[in-house]
Amino acid sequence: MLDHAESRTFIRMDVSCKMTYKFPDSEQEFAGECLNLSGSGILFSADRALDSGVALEVTIAPENSLTPPMKSYVEVIRSKEIEPGVFEVATEIKGIREI
């Protein structure tokens, strides 16, 4: 559901879909769950903490056929443990690439 009352520059949309992320200099992918996204950032859950300032390549694969997959380059803003072994990772989008 879109919340037009927020004071952010971009509207944040709640999304629940699978995603992968990897470090730009690596081929190893890690699984995550996209929680929400906006025009400037992606919030996702992961099974590991990620350091602030780290660059990632993120691929989001929505479960519906109307929304195309998205590959973006992001910078980790913060990572916090929300329950044992589950981390919420906030990122800022630096670039978007077609798949």
CATH number of domain containing 90 = 2.40.10.220
Give 5-14 pLDDT, tens digit per residue: 545 566 666 6
pLDDT at 8: 52
| Threshold 0.85, pTM exceeds | no
75 found inside a domain: yes
* 2, two tokens: 């879109």
Q: Cα-flanking dihedrals φ and ψ of residue 71, to 5°?
A: -115, 130
86 is in which domain, residue-wise? 13-97
5 found inside a domain: no
4 found inside a domain: no
Domain count, the chain: 1
pLDDT at 4: 46
CA distance 18 to 31: 7
1 found inside a domain: no
Q: Is the pLDDT of residue 2 over 50?
A: no
Give 29-78 pLDDT, tens digit per residue: 999 999 988 878 999 999 999 999 999 999 998 777 776 788 999 999 99
Q: Is the pLDDT of residue 3 over 60?
A: no
2 found inside a domain: no
* 69-86 core/surface letters (b: 16 or more CB in 10 A; e: else): ebebebebeebeeeeeee
